[in-house]
Every structure is written in structure tokens, then in C-alpha cells.
């Protein structure tokens, strides 16, 4: 079986704009969380990524025309920018990686997913579109430019009684006025003969086609349409149609945007796509990358996950799902089980065929990823099952060709919710009392897809220096019922890394599980 190694990694995380800062901060047990205040004053703590995309401008400018960096800065949402930054960091871990990834052609792949996607762009576009639609409908729902409404107001008894007319907004309760306006304006705008006339003129403009040579004709057509549309707007005095207010950035930031941008910046021509498996995205992506290399389809895979920074919609969504702490205090896994904290950032690894990469002089980092087990609960969208995670754990152990007794350390998914108890109970069904257990979401929060990458990188970085980094958990804080299940936890003082295999479990929304088994290189 082909051995696979990590030959580059990059991190964007709370308090950590790069992997070097990430490693330094891991030596402390302090939490990296900070107040959110995205709703005005509030009681949420979040993991806000420390990041400045301009740090990567020199790298981009060295390789591309001057217009390239402004395009990335203006058109790409933060998840893509985070992924680009982490990718550039990863290339620096082994000089020459950039050239090799390009030289490999289609034998270099890119798998970069996102738990939540480009929420900021999506949210901004939705708000702008909503406001534009209101302006548009209000304009065409005025009697002076809507003869159907004027006729109704003058002779309501003549209107078709089978059609229910929305009540006038001024008749609605105060807290329902806006939605009443939306219904009223949309109803009458749709019945405006004047709007129908405007649209007929617009259709005539949009029906213009390319005339003559395609390239020059295309440019001429775009300009001619623009001139005629402007004349039409002036004629009717309308606001911009709502479809003019939708930014094309919505298209440039679909789920595969981080992977696609990495292919362009790295000149990587192999398969690229976005695996999406909620909180298990990083582990699932690691499995896909390992499998592709072992099947001989790839010699190297740029892989990972990226998430937006905490936003009002993501914090609110987690709160609505009843899985987030909301008292302004750090909620540590395995303790009071009050909920998790939303975070954002990226984790990017460059995985490679060990024999191929080592022959070129590249050195592997951290641990050797040996096996990944995956499963689905097929049960509940948010509450973990017993069978699903245990299946993934057993599958990973079997694929690694080891016994459970050979696993000496384990990193939990542990979100500081009641699910922590079930996770530790599941763990003890498979693993011995002697295993050392860590839980790190009290450090940097829950970055949906990215946090699994942060946790694995923390595990690998620790083993690289012969240690298990401290967690925020203090002795005596472990939940009483959890303490009855297991006693071997890593606390705020850290410890030496025991010799043996390491495991890590991620459990995603929708019941998607990924279990990674790794080992020190000397055990291979």
C-alpha cells in the first residue's frame, strides 16, 4: 500500500494568520475566542480569523499581471481568500512544491471544500436584491404609472371578485407594514400595463444579436445594448431593474471557487472540486485525497476546507439550532455542555505520494495519515448517533491494520454540547482506558469544515515536537458523568506525546462521520 505524507500545510484561524502563529499559540492553554457583538451588544463569543489578504499580494504580483490581485481582492469572498493564503503558506513548507504541482499536470489534484460557503457574498446579494425589488415594485405600483391600479382605486366594484387583492399597507399592524408593502406592491406591479409596455421595449433591445465578426461584434453589441437600456431608463424614469442589482460575485463564489482559484494560482491542471461534508469536510477530503494517491490517479493533492468568519446569520443559525453558548463565557468541551462557539478560517494541506515526493527531496511534516473511516448516521440532522461514529472508528482501525490497543491518543469532535457524553461513551466502547483524549473547540471555536483541519494540524504539530499541546480544560472541570466514563484527558498543562497511533473523529451536521488514524513516521 502506498504511503502518503503531508508535504505542506497552511492555516488561517483565530489569532493565527499563518501556521507558524498557530503553532506558537497552541503552546498556551488560553482560549482564542473574542466577543462577537454582531447584533450590537450581545452575549456571544466567536473565533474571528486573523487575516490580511494583502500579505499575499507580493506572491501574486510576482507571478501574474498587476490586475490579478485586485480581481481576487474585489471578487472573491473571504473563504476563497483564506484558502489562497493557506495554500501559499503550504507551498513554503517545502521549497519546490509549487513547481512540482504544476509539472505533475493532471496527476496533481485540488480538493478544497467549505462547511458554510460564501455566506457574506450570498447575504449581501440577497439584501441588495430585496431592496432593489422593493424599489422596483413600488415604482410600478403607483397609480400615475399603473392604470390598472388607478382604475381599481376609482372603481373597486368593477375588479374581478375571484381575485383576492392584498390589503393596503396602511391597514396592516405596525410590525407587519413592510411585508404588507411587499405583497401590495408586487401584486399591482404585476398588473401594470405600463410595466408590460416597458418590458416589451426591453425585450426588443435584448433581442439584438452579434453582427459580423464574433469578437468585435460582441463588444459592439454590449455597448449598443447598454446605450439603448440607458435611453429606456431615462424615458420611463425607472429605478434600476432588480436583476441589474445582482452582483456576478455570486457566481464567482460558488462552492468550488476556493479549489478553482488554487488551480489557477498554482497552475495545477488536474481534477479540482469541492467536497462538502459539514463538520467532517476535512476528514472526508483527506480520505478522498489518500484514495486518489493510492489508486495511482494522483501524485499530489492540495486538500482542505475553508469557512467564512463569524457572521450574524451563522451565529444566529447556530443559536437557532440550540448548539451555541450565549452567555459571553468560554464554553469548554467536556465541562458544562452549554454549546459551542462559531469560528472561521481555513486549513490547507498538500498531500503527496511519499515515495515520489521523498525522491525529489521533499520532507514529510508531522504524522503519517494511515487510514480514514467514514460513515453516515442515517438518523438525525444534528444529534449524533451511537452506531455511525463507532462504525467510522472501527472502519478506520481496520483499514490501518492495527488493534484498538495500539491507539495512544485521540482528538474528539466535542462541541461542548450534550453530544460530548455520547461521543466519549462511543469512544470507550472501542478504545482502552489508557488512551489520552483532547478536545480543542474551547480554544478556537467551531469552524464547521475548517475546525477538523485545525484539530488535525494541532495533533500533527504536537507529535512533530514530541508533545500533546495543552487544551483549555482544567483538572476538576470535567463533567461528572463524562469523568465516570473516562479519566485520561489532556488538560491545560499538556503532556509528552506517547509512542503509538493517534486518532481523530469529526461528526458533521446530517450525521456524516470521518475518523482519521495517523502514526509517527518511524512506526511505518
Detail the DSSP E strand segments found in 31-122. Answer: 34-35, 45-46, 108-113
β-sheet bridge partners, residue 519 = 368
Q: d(Cα 372, Cα 130) in Å, to the nearest integer?
A: 44
The C-alpha cell of 368 is what? Answer: 503519517
Q: Which residues contact 434 (CB under 8 A, 6 or more apart)?
A: 408, 488
Q: The cell 463588444 sits on which residue?
A: 219
Distance CA 85, CA 88 (A): 5
Q: What pLDDT sits at residue 218?
A: 87
Question: Which 3 state secondary structure label does DSSP give 157?
Answer: helix
Which residue bears the cell 500533527?
Answer: 460
For residue 59, which of 19, 86, 80 has the smallest C-alpha distance?
86
Backbone angles phi, psi at 314, to 5 degrees: -75, -40
Residue for grid cell 438518523: 379
**CB count in 10 Å sphere of residue 20:** 12
pTM: 0.95
| pLDDT recorded at residue 211 | 80
- Structural contact between residues 506 and 440, judged by C-beta atoms closer than 8 angstroms: no
pLDDT in the model for residue 216: 78
Spell out the per-residue pLDDT of the chain, length 524, in tens.
Answer: 899 999 999 999 999 999 999 999 999 999 999 999 999 999 999 999 999 999 999 999 999 999 999 999 999 999 999 999 999 999 999 999 999 999 999 999 999 999 999 999 999 999 999 999 999 999 999 999 999 999 999 999 999 999 999 999 988 898 999 999 999 999 999 999 999 999 999 999 999 998 878 877 888 898 999 999 999 999 999 999 999 999 999 999 999 999 999 999 999 999 999 999 999 999 999 999 999 999 999 999 999 999 999 999 999 999 999 999 999 999 999 999 999 999 999 999 999 999 999 999 999 999 999 999 999 999 888 788 889 999 999 999 999 999 999 999 999 999 999 999 999 999 999 999 999 999 999 999 999 999 999 999 999 999 999 999 999 999 999 999 999 999 999 999 999 999 999 999 999 999 999 999 999 999 98
pLDDT of residue 385: 86
Query: In 10 A of CB 432, how many CB atoms?
Result: 14
- Rounded CA-CA distance 452/516 in Å is 10
Query: In terms of Cα–Cα distance, which of 402, 347, 434 is closest to 517?
Result: 402
Cell 474571528: give the residue. 48
- Hey, what domains does the chain have and what are their CATH numbers? 4-118+253-523 (3.40.47.10), 122-245 (no CATH)
Q: How far is CA 163 from the centre of its chain?
A: 45
Spatial contact of 15 and 32, defined as CB atoms under 8 Å apart: yes
Contact between residue 396 and residue 415 where contact means Cβ atoms under 8 Å apart: no
Measured distance CA(277)–CA(113) in Å, rounded: 8
Cβ contact 140:189 at 8 Å: yes
Q: Is residue 395 within 8 Å of residue 411, measured between CB atoms? A: no
Please state, in angstroms and rounded to a whole number, the distance separating the CA atoms of residues 395 and 373. Answer: 5
Work out whether strand 512-519 and strand 501-508 pair parallel, antiparallel, or are unpaired. Answer: antiparallel
What is the residue whose three cell numbers read 473571504?
78
Contact partners, residue 512, CB within 8 Å, separation at least 6? 277, 278, 279, 280, 284, 374, 376, 377
What string of H, E and C letters represents the secondary structure of 181-240?
HHHHHHHHHCCCHHHHHHHHHHHHHHCCCCCCCHHHHHHHHHHHHHHHHHHHHHHHCCCC
- The pLDDT of residue 212 is 79
Per-residue three-class SS string for 426-485: HHHHHCCCCCEEECCHHHHCECCHHHHHHHHHHHHHHHHCCEECCCCCCCCCCCHHHHHH
Q: At residue 432, what are phi and psi to the nearest 5 degrees?
A: -75, 165
Task: Report the C-alpha gap between 511 and 203 in whole angstroms.
Answer: 48
Q: Is residue 486 within 8 Å of residue 359, measured between CB atoms?
A: no
The 3-state DSSP composition of the chain as helix, strand, coil percent (nearest 5) reads 50, 15, 35
pLDDT of residue 217: 82
Strands (E), 45-120: 45-46, 108-113
Amino acid at each position: 500500500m502506498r504511503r502518503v505524507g503531508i508535504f505542506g500545510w497552511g492555516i488561517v484561524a483565530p489569532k493565527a494568520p499563518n501556521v507558524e502563529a498557530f503553532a506558537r499559540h497552541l503552546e498556551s492553554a488560553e482560549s482564542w475566542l473574542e466577543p462577537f457583538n454582531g447584533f450590537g451588544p450581545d452575549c456571544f463569543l466567536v473565533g474571528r480569523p486573523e487575516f490580511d489578504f494583502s500579505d499575499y499580494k507580493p506572491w501574486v504580483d510576482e507571478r501574474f499581471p498587476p490586475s490579478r490581485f485586485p480581481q481576487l481582492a474585489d471578487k472573491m469572498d473571504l473563504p476563497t481568500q483564506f484558502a489562497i493564503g493557506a495554500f501559499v503558506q503550504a507551498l513554503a513548507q517545502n521549497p519546490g512544491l509549487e513547481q512540482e504541482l504544476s509539472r505533475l499536470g493532471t496527476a496533481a489534484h485540488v480538493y478544497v471544500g467549505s462547511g458554510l460557503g460564501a455566506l457574506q457574498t450570498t447575504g449581501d446579494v440577497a439584501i441588495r436584491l430585496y431592496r432593489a425589488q422593493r424599489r422596483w415594485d413600488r415604482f410600478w405600483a403607483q397609480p400615475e404609472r399603473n392604470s390598472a391600479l388607478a382604475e381599481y382605486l376609482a372603481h373597486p366594484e368593477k375588479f374581478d371578485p375571484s381575485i383576492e387583492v392584498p390589503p393596503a399597507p396602511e391597514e396592516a399592524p405596525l410590525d407587519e407594514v413592510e411585508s404588507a408593502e411587499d405583497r401590495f406592491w408586487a401584486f399591482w406591479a404585476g398588473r401594470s400595463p405600463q410595466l408590460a409596455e416597458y418590458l416589451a421595449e426591453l425585450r426588443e433591445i435584448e433581442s439584438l444579436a452579434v453582427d459580423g465578426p464574433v469578437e468585435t461584434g460582441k463588444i459592439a453589441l454590449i455597448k449598443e445594448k447598454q446605450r439603448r437600456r440607458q435611453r429606456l431608463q431615462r424615458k420611463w424614469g425607472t429605478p434600476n431593474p432588480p436583476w441589474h442589482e445582482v452582483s456576478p460575485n455570486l457566481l464567482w463564489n460558488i462552492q468550488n471557487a476556493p479549489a478553482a482559484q488554487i488551480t489557477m494560482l498554482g497552475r495545477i491542471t488536474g481534477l479540482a472540486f469541492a467536497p462538502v461534508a459539514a463538520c467532517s469536510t476535512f476528514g472526508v477530503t483527506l480520505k478522498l485525497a489518500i484514495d486518489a494517491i493510492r489508486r495511482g490517479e494522483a501524485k499530489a493533492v492540495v486538500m482542505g476546507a475553508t469557512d467564512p468568519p463569524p457572521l450574524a446569520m451563522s451565529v444566529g443559525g447556530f443559536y437557532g439550532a440550540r448548539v451555541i453558548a450565549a452567555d459571553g463565557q468560554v464554553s469548554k468541551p467536556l465541562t458544562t455542555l452549554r454549546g459551542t462557539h462559531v469560528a472561521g478560517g481555513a486549513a490547507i494541506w498538500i498531500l503527496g505520494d511519499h515515495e515520489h515526493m521523498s525522491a525529489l527531496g521533499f520532507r514529510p511534516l508531522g504524522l503519517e495519515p494511515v487510514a480514514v473511516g467514514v460513515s453516515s448516521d442515517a438518523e438525525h440532522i444534528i444529534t449524533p448517533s451511537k452506531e455511525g461514529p463507532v462504525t467510522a472508528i472501527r472502519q478506520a482501525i481496520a483499514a490501518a491494520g492495527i488493534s484498538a490497543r495500539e491507539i495512544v491518543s485521540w482528538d474528539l469532535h466535542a462541541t461542548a454540547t450534550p453530544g460530548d457524553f455520547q461521543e466519549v461513551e462511543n469512544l470507550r466502547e472501542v478504545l482502552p482506558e489508557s488512551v489520552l483524549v483532547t478536545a480543542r473547540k474551547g480554544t478556537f471555536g467551531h469552524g464547521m469544515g475548517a475546525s477538523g483541519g485545525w484539530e488535525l494540524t494541532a495533533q500533527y504539530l504536537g507529535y512533530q515536537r514530541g508533545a500533546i499541546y495543552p487544551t483549555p480544560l482544567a483538572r476538576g472541570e470535567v463533567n461528572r458523568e463524562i469523568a465516570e466514563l473516562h479519566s485520561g484527558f489532556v488538560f491545560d498543562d499538556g503532556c509528552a506525546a506517547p509512542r503509538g497511533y493517534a486518532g481523530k473523529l469529526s461528526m458533521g451536521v446530517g450525521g456524516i462521520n470521518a475518523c482519521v488514524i495517523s502514526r509517527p513516521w518511524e512506526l511505518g
